[in-house]
Structure 1
């Protein structure tokens, strides 16, 4: 077998040596790979990761915190009588929740592709500025039609935000480093839900003013979002190769890390036809099925946790205050599962565990008399929050880890993440006024989606284990995923040396 050679054409201006990806010994047909994903200089890589962590993660986390605040503050406003003040009729609040997800799904893939073309560091601040502006405009809304229009444009502006952040991080970190970094970023969503409750707790004490208290909530959150968006435009680096906080040696190391353990071609030019081939892989449809199953519990907890807690009989102010603790522990559990996932280099089992947390929380809450067992019911809301965040992060990490082609990666992420979010259409229509305050059918439906998600994730994980063993038998020896550089794996499972990241 002749040794293949990799061209220096990488779509990047970064310098790169020509390497021989594998050679074959004369007496054997077993390939020996060079340029593998193994860490050569632990000290240098740790130092580089620390630079990325300090530079990127805090800012991205704050960006996502504002994203989550501006998307989810409607639930807090509802507890302060937004429906009454705007003259909503029956089910109009649920319609406003639902309309958000139509543009959220429709515009995520095109905006994600624009982010790939022009760079996430440019498109993300523009999206943030847009959804912050629409949040501010909610101060001027006077009726159902005005709020519905704003929710449409808010969904459009937020559609590709999370997929682009995921893709952005894959251009800086190795596959085995991604989950815990993405978890730190995503924990901002949980903190946002907690902070939103605390902020609402303070803002709703504002009385005897020309504006309703919930209008101040939109004004404060939207203004902070717009100001921070301007800052991020100048702060975020385009990519690792052009980051001004790295020296030349660090830029070369950053390029090597991504080329061997993340992307098949670093900064690859967008080819839409080639990128859409990701949907020819059966595993992609399994990932999307799990996203659908994840979406219902994720959106149910995000949108209706204040109403679930309110069933315990607390006042409006206390209800918003008591949503903080479950969300904070949800962020903590997210970090525990994500760090454990990176440490063990396993995604599937921890996704299953997260689904089971949510399933158990929903079942406990529906099975007891919450007014007579308030402590148990309140604990069940903690379990709901434990199990919604972790599967979202780990699932996105899972299919990004198994998609070395950058274009296919952004396409799958831009479809998968909005698909989970569009299940808010289900959540917003099962938590109906008729079923309030118990919401038994809604909680049971949410639990069923969680159980099915755990089943599909478990089966997909088992398939990957067996397929890796089948590939090893065909090769004649066990091949570790770190033995093969991702620059050889552009076509994914079609490549004999491909191994699933479990």
Structure 2
């Protein structure tokens, strides 16, 4: 039986980790054919529904950018920086609640937590379509931030209990494709929904919120039946298959577990420089991703295209981003190397920003190419750094809290992105493009520091420099997470 917390609830993740250690000690032998069959089964169950949830979340988060060019600001009498305020306030709960959300996930279990939050944000998205004031829109955006905060940290955490470290990135990128597809799909939907302008007395932008919110709610209902629980309780696997999943993860961790919460646990988590560098990397690159999501339709419209054409012309940009994300992820997993991928993506994004900062010196086609560079490079880097941090922390508590901290505090970049593209600076946006470029290089600097930190630590461990930890009491030794002397970091 699993351990129970003070409230009497079973801590499924602690049980999973303990089960993994127990099976590791018993030297459970994995049949390769069964392993291949099991992991295909896991992929078929987890990835499609996780992708759909990401697609819905991202559409409901960014469709406000499409609604803007359909007249939202005029209808709600928004003036000055009201638009930036609406975008900014979404991120307050989104940032503050991402890390704590994984604690709630452990209490509720995935098959309840993810569907509930999806139904929540989709209902609020629909309500945006009937709001009559700027204040009403602000309330809706804050509530969407509350519900969406827990999605991505939970997905990363759940997948880390099913997959080995080197298997994680392309699956993270697969989820990012939900965001990328939704970027393209949102533009396509907005193009179609724009023709509903005036139907039943509603403006086209209202129909964007109403129809997309209803679609997300239906996916949320479906998720109650499709989202799996932790591997040791996954009903879609038989006992032998569950053992395979648990043992693979145990082998990959090499004894680096962290299933008990102590003062030492807190110190090892919150005192780990790797987590803060991971936050810095994510914060730096997410500025580009959110800026693209919120402002691409506006930027493209200011290249001289109509609103509808700007929506359509944004679709190839998102398709290119998806191609970049998938290609780079397969390369990173094949090479088991991520630092070089981050540098390459950062360089591509930098090229795009430099062109946009000099837009009056280049033709419209070159500016359009620059948008491809910015978003394509951003979607190379973003899933890579998420997988990279996740690969280099271990233990149920540390994995859950680190992913929440990286995605939560890293989304401060979203606040930055929502406040640097000012109407008064259109169409040049010198602050937006300039600060965007600076944040990309902040990401690269953090990635470089991260690389040299783990490279140095591996050298110390290979030379036996951490072997003194073997003399610790067994209970403490088995609760070190990635501080365990057998753990090796991946570059």
Q: Same fold (TM over 0.5)?
A: yes
Greater CA deviation, 234-243 or 403-412? Answer: 234-243
Q: Which residue among 274, 278, 291 is the counterpart of 2:269?
A: 278
**2: CA distance between counterparts of 1:289 and 1:227?**
36
Aligned position for 1:391: 381
2:15 counterpart of 1:11: yes
**1: CA distance between counterparts of 2:190 and 2:225?**
31
2:486 counterpart of 1:491: no
**2: CA distance between counterparts of 1:35 and 1:160?**
36
2:192 counterpart of 1:202: yes
- Structure 1 or 2: larger helix share? 2
- SS of residue paired to 1:500: coil
2:250 counterpart of 1:243: no
For residue 497 of structure 1, report the CA deviation from its aligned partner.
Answer: 2.2
Alignment of 1:341-490 (within 5 A): 341-369=332-360, 373-474=363-464, 490=479
**1: CA distance between counterparts of 2:466 and 2:253?**
26
CA-to-aligned-CA distance 1:139-196 (integer Å, 9 cap, x gap): 2101111001111111111112111111011111111111011111111101100000
Aligned position for 1:183: 173
Aligned position for 1:97: 87
Unaligned stretches of 5+ residues in structure 2: 1-12, 468-475
**2: CA distance between counterparts of 1:17 and 1:307?**
53
- SS of residue paired to 1:88: coil
Aligned position for 1:313: 304
Aligned position for 2:4: none
2:308 counterpart of 1:304: no
Counterpart contact for 2:49–2:223, Cα < 8 Å: yes
Aligned position for 2:125: 135
Aligned position for 1:148: 138
Aligned residues: 470
For residue 44 of structure 1, report the CA deviation from its aligned partner.
Answer: 2.5
CA-to-aligned-CA distance 1:441-460 (integer Å, 9 cap, x gap): 21011011102211221232
Q: What TM-score do you get using the length of structure 1 for normalisation?
A: 0.87
2:68 counterpart of 1:81: no
2:248 counterpart of 1:257: yes
**2: CA distance between counterparts of 1:178 and 1:230?**
27
CA-to-aligned-CA distance 1:311-332 (integer Å, 9 cap, x gap): 2110000001111111111011
**1: CA distance between counterparts of 2:168 and 2:211?**
33
Q: What TM-score do you get using the length of structure 2 for normalisation?
A: 0.89
Going from structure 1 to structure 2, the CA distance change for 1:227 and 1:409 (only over 3 Å counts) comes to same
Alignment of 1:328-339 (within 5 A): 328-339=319-330
Counterpart contact for 2:53–2:219, Cα < 8 Å: yes
2:478 counterpart of 1:501: no
Counterpart contact for 2:24–2:250, Cα < 8 Å: no
Going from structure 1 to structure 2, the CA distance change for 1:433 and 1:339 (only over 3 Å counts) comes to same
- SS of residue paired to 1:178: helix
For residue 289 of structure 1, report the CA deviation from its aligned partner.
Answer: 1.7
**2: CA distance between counterparts of 1:100 and 1:262?**
36
**2: CA distance between counterparts of 1:475 and 1:107?**
38
